[in-house]
Amino acid sequence: MTSPILEVRKLCKSYDEGRIEALRGVDLSITASEYLAISGPSGSGKSTLLQLLGGLDTATTGEVLFQNAALGSVVNLDEYRARQVGFIFQAFYLLPTLTAVENVQVPMLALDLLPSNRAQRAESLLREMGMEHRLNQYPNQLSAGERQRVAIARALANAPSILLADEPTGNLDSSNSARIMEILTGIQKQRGMTLIIITHDNEIASCAPRHIRIRDGRIES
Amino acid sequence: MASQLSFTGFAWKNLWRRRLRTLLTLWGIGMAIGAFVALVGFSRSFEHEWLRLYSSSGTDIAVVEKAFLNTSVDASLEGKLAAVPVVAQVSPMIFNVIDLTPEVNALVFGWRANSYEFGSLTFQSGQHFEDGKPEVIIGDALATTLNKKVGESLDIQGSTFNVSGIYHGGTALEAGAVIMPLDQLQQLSNLQGKVSGFHVRLRPAPPGEAPDHYLKRAQNEIEAALPGLNAQLASERASNNQFVALAHAVAWGTSSIALLMGVLGIANTMAMSVFERTREIGILRAIGWKSGRIVLLIETEAVVLGFAGGILGLFFGWGSLRLLSMLPQTASIVSSSLDAGHLLKALGLSILSGILAGAYPAWRGSHLSPVEAIRHD
């Protein structure tokens, strides 16, 4: 049996001094190269789960293990985010003062790469996304679909083993949504990455080989 | 060709997105550094001119009262001082700062007609004054400012003096000064029988005695012969006299206030910038930037502001000194030349200002929780 790349044990997360319980004892195991969709209504705790899986936040109780090592204690969260995880957000969150190719280089500034290597790699990733004609455009000069493709290239900049996408098609029309999903699933297959997608869209969720639903901070199925 | 993004390039782009705010901040720190360069440059220039004043006349030691600038020393002690074996020549003198016109004030020296200190002056027209006569000689810079020629009269505090000569002084202080007979200035200042102090030329050091040792011995011998008086080396007198000390104090005090304002300006800009970029900082944290790198980014932005403001300040400061060196009120004591050490110190201060100003915003930015920062509107 393949060992899990991520494992969640009795994960609880509460806010506002315990008055709001976003996650209530979640257990989950995700294997390397798995494509997993997580869906659920607003406020169900799915984004909180993604943040904890990505090391953006720490659990109130319980733990998240990356390759059997606990995040935040054994595994340094900054290192984990820099080298193992790529984030894709619904609102893209590109830096407005940087061009597309510069945005993709930003995560690489966290690592000791030569500037020429950074630019080369960013350009190659954007070509892979079909953005070779938009390298030097600023985010406000790009369409929503193009912005998300730049954001995907940025998420891949440091060659992470896990790609975490929080509603990646939430701000896109149907044709752009289909294109983005095609890109994400293609990347997952070609690179053998672990892909975890949070989505409201049942159609998207049902395309994933594994689909779990969250409600009131608990996994339903 | 894809453009390469460097860390400093990223910092610069962050600053440049708010051009007006960045330019206003640069202007603020530029003015602060400019004030430092101009004021401290002014006081140093003043000190330098005093030193040249002593060295050009060949004065080795000034004998004055221990605590005061305008000392009032008994003129009759000249004989006792001249009798000290190391002393070659003694020049009793008075100096004061007097308003000649509402706009122009000048250093006024009272010397004897036979003072050795005339050696450093070159007469452009006219001749020496004579003791006991209401005559003055004036420096060429002051003559130009007052539009005075030899033979014309000059009113000083209600008394009329004949301009007997115009000289070229070795220093800016001399070029802008009035020199009159000692007895005339004693009368004008109500200091009959008194002098500000004595300037002393020493005999050459005996063979084998180190110059420093000889000067120290001369000081001790003079102070032993004239108890209660202070024999100061010319170099010490130049830097310790209270005109110079006051100029230094005012320069540093004013510059410090200006620098503090500059630091607050940068701190305000950086704090606002961090607040506005809260979400972006969260994104940077999410994509793997460590908190230390966030600190480095914000500090780099602050230091770039400080450094660029510092360069601007050097030009402001130099321009101000140029202006002061041309104004009649200050031309006699200000030189527009700046030494490299002073400029480096100014630039160092501007960079330090940036580091200090960026410290709190950087700390705040680095301690933002990634999740909360991303949620920030």
Tokens in use for B312? 């601007």
| Coil vs helix vs strand at B239 | helix
Q: What is the DSSP letter of B3?
A: P
**Average of per-residue pLDDT across A115-125:** 92
Residue B2 has pLDDT above 80, yes or no: no
Out of A87, A118, A135, name the one closest to residue B5 (CB). Answer: A118
| Coil vs helix vs strand at B166 | strand
The pLDDT assigned to B250 comes to 84
A contacts of B13 (beta carbons < 8 Å): 97-98
The pLDDT assigned to B346 comes to 87
Q: Could you give the CA distance from residue B299 to residue B302 in angstroms, rounded to a whole number? A: 5
Determine the residue type at B4: Q
Give the mean pLDDT of chain A.
Answer: 92
Residue A26 has pLDDT above 80, yes or no: yes
| Coil vs helix vs strand at B12 | helix
Determine the residue type at B33: I
A contacts of B293 (beta carbons < 8 Å): 109-110
For helices B19-57 and B7-16, give the axis angle rounded to 10 degrees: 100
Residues of chain A whose beta carbon is less than 8 angstroms from a beta carbon of chain B are: 51, 54, 56-57, 78-79, 81-83, 85-87, 89, 93, 95-99, 101-102, 105-107, 109-111, 115-116, 118-120, 122-123, 135-136, 154-155, 157-158
Instruction: Tell me the per-residue pLDDT of B157-194, one tens digit each, with 9 for 90 and over.
Output: 889 999 999 998 777 778 889 999 999 999 998 888 99
The pLDDT assigned to B376 comes to 73
Q: Which residues pair with A37 in a beta bridge?
A: A197, A211
Residue A1 has pLDDT above 60, yes or no: no
Residue B329 has pLDDT above 80, yes or no: no
For A48-107, the three-class secondary structure string (H helix, E strand, C coil) is HHHHHHCCCCCCCEEEEEECCEEECCCECHHHHHHHCEEEECCCCCCCCCCCHHHHHHHH
The radius of gyration of chain B from alpha carbons, rounded to an integer in Å, stands at 29
Whether residue B229 contacts residue B237, with contact meaning beta carbons closer than 8 Å, is answered with no
Out of A56, A102, A135, name the one closest to residue B370 (CB). Answer: A56
Tell me how crowded residue B143 is: count the other CB atoms within 10 A of its CB: 24
**Res. B78 pLDDT band, cuts 50 70 90:** very high
Is the dihedral angle over the CA atoms B66, B71, B76, B82 positive or is it negative? positive
Determine the residue type at A169: T
B62: number of CA atoms within 13 Å, CB side?
30
Question: Beta strand B61-65 with B197-202: parallel, antiparallel or unpaired?
Answer: antiparallel
Tell me how crowded residue A140 is: count the other CB atoms within 10 A of its CB: 8
The length of chain B, given as a count of residues: 377
Question: Beta strand B194-195 with B73-74: parallel, antiparallel or unpaired?
Answer: antiparallel
Q: Could you give the CA distance from residue B369 to residue B375 in angstroms, rounded to a whole number? A: 10
Out of A186-195, B36-45, B336-345, give the one with best mean pLDDT. A186-195
Instruction: Tell me the per-residue pLDDT of A61-93, one tens digit each, with 9 for 90 and over.
Output: 999 999 999 999 899 999 999 999 999 999 999
Q: Could you give the CA distance from residue A134 to residue A145 in angstroms, rounded to a whole number? A: 12
Residue corresponding to tokens 């494509």? A35
| Coil vs helix vs strand at A117 | helix
DSSP E strand stretches across chain B? 61-65, 73-74, 87-99, 105-111, 122-126, 135-139, 153-156, 159-168, 178-181, 194-195, 197-202, 229-233
User: φ, ψ for residue B201 (rounded to 5)?
Assistant: -105, 130
Torsion-angle region of residue A22: left (phi > 0), alpha (psi -120 to 50) or beta? alpha
Whether residue B168 contacts residue B140, with contact meaning beta carbons closer than 8 Å, is answered with yes
Out of B2, B7, B287, name the one closest to residue A81 (CB). Answer: B287
Residue B46 has pLDDT above 60, yes or no: yes
Residue corresponding to tokens 């115009």? B166
Instruction: Tell me the per-residue pLDDT of B137-162, one tens digit each, with 9 for 90 and over.
Output: 999 988 988 999 999 999 998 899 99
Q: Could you give the CA distance from residue B46 to residue B221 in angstroms, rounded to a whole number? A: 30
Q: Which residues pair with A163 in a beta bridge?
A: A86, A195
Q: Could you give the CA distance from residue A104 to residue A122 in angstroms, rounded to a whole number? A: 5
A contacts of B5 (beta carbons < 8 Å): 98, 101-102, 105-106, 109, 115, 118-119
B contacts of A105 (beta carbons < 8 Å): 4-5
Determine the residue type at B137: I
DSSP string computed for B240-276: HSHHHHHHHHHHHHHHHHHHHHHHHHHHHHHHHHHHH
Determine the residue type at B113: A
The string over B100-136, giving b where at least 16 C-beta atoms fall within 10 Å of a residue's C-beta and e elsewhere, is beeebebbbbbbbeebbbbebbeeeebebbeeeebbb
| Coil vs helix vs strand at B233 | strand
Interface predicted TM-score (ipTM): 0.90
The pLDDT assigned to B69 comes to 55
Tokens in use for B330? 């200050």
Q: Who contacts A196 (Cβ-Cβ below 8 Å, separation ≥6)?
A: A30, A36, A37, A38, A50, A53, A162, A163, A164, A165
Q: What is the DSSP letter of B122?
A: E
Residue B68 has pLDDT above 70, yes or no: no
Q: Which of A30-34, A179-183, B231-235 has the lowest average pLDDT?
A: B231-235
Q: Could you give the CA distance from residue A198 to residue B360 in angstroms, rounded to a whole number? A: 37
CB of B377 less than 8 A from some CB of A: no
The pLDDT assigned to B332 comes to 65
B contacts of A87 (beta carbons < 8 Å): 286-287
The pLDDT assigned to B235 comes to 80
Out of B5, B14, B286, name the one closest to residue A81 (CB). Answer: B286
Give the mean pLDDT of chain B.
Answer: 88
Q: Could you give the CA distance from residue B141 to residue A151 in angstroms, rounded to a whole number? A: 70
Residue A2 has pLDDT above 90, yes or no: no
